[in-house]
Amino acid sequence: MATKLPATSHEPLLWDYATSKESTDIVEIDSKYGLFIDGKFRAPKSRKYFPTINPANEEHLADVAEAGPRDIDLAVSAARRAYTDVWGPMSGAERAKYLFRIARMVQERSRELAVLETLDGGKPIKEARDVDLPLVAGHFFYYAGWADKLEYAFPGVSPKPLGVAGQVIPWNFPLMMLAWKVAPALATGNTVVLKPAETTSLTALMFAQIASEAGLPPGVLNIVTGAGRTGAAIVGHDDVDKIAFTGSTAVGKMIQSQLAGTSKRLTLELGGKAAHVVFEDAPLDQAIEGVINGIFFNQGHVCCAGSRLLVQENIHDRFVDKLKRRLATLRVGDPLDKNTDVGAINSRAQLERITELVEVGLSEGAEMFQPDCVLPDRGFYFRPTLFTNVAQSHRIAQEEIFGPVLSILSFRTPDEAVEKANNTPYGLSAGVWTSKGSRILWMADRLKAGVVWANTYNKFDPTSPFGGYKESGFGREGGRHGLLAYMDWGEG
Amino acid sequence: MDEVGVLERVAALSTRSIKRESKRAALDLIVAMIDLTTLEGKDTAGKIAQMSAKAIRPDPLDSSVPSVAAVCIYPNMVKYAVQATEGTDVRVVSVATYFPSGLADIDLKVEEARRVVAEGADEVDMVIDRGAFLSGDYFKVFDEIRRVKEACGDVHLKVILETGELATLDDVRRASMLAMGAGADFIKTSTGKIQPAATLPVALVMLEAIRDFHDATGVMVGMKPAGGIRTSKDAIKYLVVLNETLGERWMTPDWFRFGASTLLNDVLMQIRWLETGRYASPDYFTQG
C-alpha cells in the first residue's frame, strides 16, 4: 500500500530507566550508639567511638562505640548470668516463643531493616529487600521451630547447651550472618555475645532494639561493636564456651591457633574461590544468569561467590561473548535505586584490595573486560570485571578477591574440570551447569566443596546446611546440622 | 532450556521499577506496538470500521498519543480494514493458514495467504501445524512456513507457534528456531484461542532464540506476544524483558508488537493519569 510507511520506519527507543529511589524516611539513625549489654544500651567503658559511613556516598551515618576488654567482661558476665539463671533452665517451648516473636518483628520491620542495611553496607536495596531480610526472618522461624524438639533432632541423645557463645561476623551480609549465628545459638539454650563487623554495625544494633522490644531477657543477647581488637577480646575471654566466626581465612587461622589447647568449641566459615563449571550441553542463557548471579551478587562480597568460571573449551568463546553482552546490561550505581543491580563496595579498604588484585591480574597477562558504565563521583564503586586468558597459576585464579571480578578458565574433559575445580586451598562451594542429570551427580561426588549447586547458584535456605572444606573452615550453619555446633552431645 | 532459571530471570526483571518519563516513553511505545485485534465469529464490517477508527486515533482528546501499529483481523475482514485505514500509517494484519488450528491442506493455506495479500494485507500472521510439530514432523512444519512466506513475498510474515500447546520451553525454542530458519519475519506466541496464551517466560525464551539466531546469521527477527496481556503493568514487563534481552535495536514497532485488544484502554488510562495526576473513569475511553 503506497499510503503506508515501510516496515522499518520507526526509530528505536533508547530506554533508560528513571531513578526509582527507595525512601530513607522510614529509618531513624541515632547520632551515637552505645553497646547493648545486659538488655540496655550503655556507653562503652573504653569511652571510644568510631564513625560508620555510607559507602555509596561516603557520608557519615553515626558514631558507634568501640568495646574494650572491660566492656567484653561486662557482656560475657551478663551472658553467663542470663545463661545460668534464665535462658539455660528455660524450656525449649518458652525459648521458641521469644524467637518466633523476634522473627515476626523482623518481618514487620523488614523494610526499615533493609534500607538501613543498604545505607550502612552498600548492597543494592533490591537484594536487601528480596534476599537478606526474608532469609533473616526465615532463619529465626526455622530455629524457633527446633527449640522444643531438640531431643528428637538426634534420637537417643539428650543434648545440652554449651553456655556462652562468642560470635564474630563479617560485613557482607550483616543481618543475615547475625541470624545464622544468633538463631541456632538461642534456640539451643545458649546465650550470646556478638560482634558485628566495624563497617556494618547498625542493623545489629537495630536488631538489639527488636530483641529488647520482644522482651528477650537481659543478657541473653549482647551486641558489642568494634574492630579486630574487640573480636580478639571475645575470642580470648576465659568465660566463653564457644566461638563462631565467619570471615577471612587469615583471621580464622589466628583464631584457631589462639584457641588451641583450650576447651572452647570452634566453628569457622572462611573464604572461598568457588569453581563454577559450565559444560557444553548446559542451558547457556540460564547458565549466563547463574554465572552473573554467582559473581556479581552483593558486588561479589560473597564467600561462596563463583569467582572461577570453568567453561568447556568448545563453547568458551561463545559463552564469553554472551557474558560480556550481559555484563553491559548490569546497572551499577546508587544502592538505594530499586533498579540497581550492583551497588557500592563496602569500604575503601576493600576497594583498594580489589583494585590491587585486578592490577596483579593485568600484570600476570590476563585479558580484562569491563563494561562501559558510568560510576557515581563519590562513594566506593568497582566495575563488573571479567578476566579471560587466566591460567590456574595466576593469583587471580587462586586468591579470594571478594569483589565483582570473575576469572575465566577453560577445560576439555569432565576429569579436567574436577581437577581444576579442586585445585585450590578452599572448598566452600561449587556450581555445575549441564543438561545431563547423571553428570551432575558424578560431579557432585568429586567436587570438594561444602555446597554444590546444580543448574543454579547462590541458593540459600534455613533448612539447608552451609559450610566448608579445607581452608574454607569447618562446622555447618543452617538446617539440623546447624544445631550441632551449639550443643553438647555428651562426647566430652 | 532450564525452566527454573527462566522463571527466576523473568521474576528478577519483573521487579524493575519504571517511573515518570521512562514510564511515559514506555506507554507511548506500547500503544505504537499494539496490533489491535478482533478475531471473533461475530466480526462485521461495522466492527472493523469502529476498531480501525480507534486504532488510528486511540485517544481523541490527546493528540500526543500515537496510532497503534496495526489492526489484526480474520481474512474475510481484510477488505473492510484496508478501506478503514486508508491514508493512515495503521497497517492491516490478517491471520491466515486456517487460523487458529492450522489443520488444513498446505495448498489451501498457501492459497489463503495469497488471497489476503492480494486484498491488501500488509502483514500475515500464520499458524504452524502443532500436530505435525509434536509428532516430530519438523520438515512439514518448516516446509509449510517456507511456502507461505513464498506466497507472501515482501509482505511481513509472522509465525504463530501457539506456545500454549507446545507446553515445554525446549519445544518453544525448537519451534522458534525452525520458524526463523524457514523465513519468518516475526515469531508470535499465540492465537489467543488457547490458554495459556503469551507468558513472560515463553517470551524470554523466544527473545533469546531470536538473539542466538541473529548471532548466527545476522538476520533480525521480530517478536509478538499475543493474548492475555491486559494491563500496562504487564506490557511494561514485556518491554523490560525485551530491552534487557535484545536491547535498543528491537525497541520499535518494526521489531516488536503486542497482540491485544483490552490492553489499549488500560494504557490510555495510565497516560491520562501521568498527565493529570488523576485516574479518569473508564467511561471516558471509547470501547473499540
The CATH number of the domain holding residue A111 is 3.40.605.10
Please tell me whether residues A183 and A108 are part of one structural domain.
Answer: yes
Q: Could you give the CA distance from residue B81 to residue B92 in angstroms, rounded to a whole number?
A: 6
pLDDT in tens, A212-247: 999 999 999 999 999 999 999 999 999 999 999 999
**Is B140 a residue of the active site?**
no
pLDDT in tens, A122-144: 999 999 999 999 999 999 999 99
Contacts of B22 in chain A (CB under 8 A): 15-18
Class of domain B3-273: alpha beta
DSSP letters for A266-301: EEEE-----EEEE-TTS-HHHHHHHHHHHHHGGGG-
Q: Do A3 and B88 touch (CB under 8 A)?
A: yes
**String of b and e for A52-90 (b: at least 16 CB within 10 Å)?**
bbbbbbeeebbebbbbbbebbbbbbbbbbbbbeebbbeb
| Contact (CB, 8 A) for B198 and B189 | yes
Please tell me whether residues A242 and A323 are part of one structural domain.
Answer: no
Does A52 map to a domain? yes
Q: What is the pLDDT of residue A342?
A: 98
> What separation, in Å, do the N-terminal and C-terminal C-alpha atoms of chain B show?
39
Can you tell me the mean pLDDT for A24-28? 97
Of residues B114, B119, B121, the one with CA closest to residue B94: B121
Please tell me whether residues A164 and A82 are part of one structural domain.
Answer: yes
pLDDT exceeds 70 at position A306: yes
Query: Would you kindly state where each structural domain of chain B is located, as residue ranges?
Result: 3-273
Contacts of A11 in chain B (CB under 8 A): 252
Q: Do B22 and A8 touch (CB under 8 A)?
A: no
Q: Do B250 and A14 touch (CB under 8 A)?
A: no
A162 pLDDT band (50/70/90 cuts)?
very high
Please tell me whether residues A259 and A198 are part of one structural domain.
Answer: yes
Q: What is the pLDDT of residue B285?
A: 87
- For residue B163, which amino acid is it? T
Please tell me whether residues A250 and A359 are part of one structural domain.
Answer: no
Q: Could you give the CA distance from residue A43 to residue A48 in angstroms, rounded to a whole number?
A: 9
**Is A304 a residue of the active site?**
no
Q: What is the pLDDT of residue B130?
A: 98
Q: What is the pLDDT of residue A4?
A: 55
Least confident span in A2-11, A358-367, B201-210: A2-11
The residue from B171, B188, B237, B266 that is catalytic is B188
Q: Do B120 and A1 touch (CB under 8 A)?
A: yes
User: Which value does ipTM take for this structure?
Assistant: 0.93
| Contact (CB, 8 A) for A174 and A203 | yes
Scan for cell 555447618, then name that residue.
Answer: A476
Scan for cell 489492526, then name that residue.
Answer: B71
Which CATH number is A450's domain given? Answer: 3.40.309.10
How many C-beta atoms surround the C-beta of residue A376 within 10 A? Answer: 13
Number of domains chain A is built from: 2
Can you tell me the mean pLDDT for A331-358? 98
C-alpha distance from B52 to closest chain A C-alpha (Å)? 14
Please tell me whether residues A218 and A320 are part of one structural domain.
Answer: no
Q: Could you give the CA distance from residue A291 to residue A276 in angstroms, rounded to a whole number?
A: 7
Please tell me whether residues A144 and A58 are part of one structural domain.
Answer: yes
Grid cell listed for B259:
497482540
For A107, the domain range is 32-270+472-488
Does A199 map to a domain? yes
Question: Which residues, given as ranges, of chain B have pLDDT below 70?
Answer: 288
Please tell me whether residues A227 and A372 are part of one structural domain.
Answer: no
Please tell me whether residues A223 and A344 are part of one structural domain.
Answer: no
Please tell me whether residues A265 and A279 are part of one structural domain.
Answer: no
Q: Do B23 and A18 touch (CB under 8 A)?
A: yes
DSSP letter, residue B225: -
Scan for cell 528477650, then name that residue.
Answer: A216
The residue of A3, A5, A8, A17 whose CB has the most chain B CBs within 10 angstroms, and thus the best one to mutate to test that interface, is A17
The residue from A22, A117, A198, A269 that is catalytic is A269
pLDDT exceeds 60 at position A447: yes
Query: Longest Cα pair distance anywhere in chain A, in angstroms?
Result: 92
The residue from A127, A303, A304, A400 that is catalytic is A303
DSSP count for chain B of H helices, then E strands = 12, 8
- For residue A12, which amino acid is it? P
Does A9 map to a domain? no
Q: What is the pLDDT of residue A464?
A: 96
Does A25 map to a domain? no
Does A131 map to a domain? yes
Can you tell me the mean pLDDT for A31-51? 98
DSSP letter, residue B77: G
Q: What is the pLDDT of residue A2?
A: 38
Can you tell me the mean pLDDT for A38-49? 98
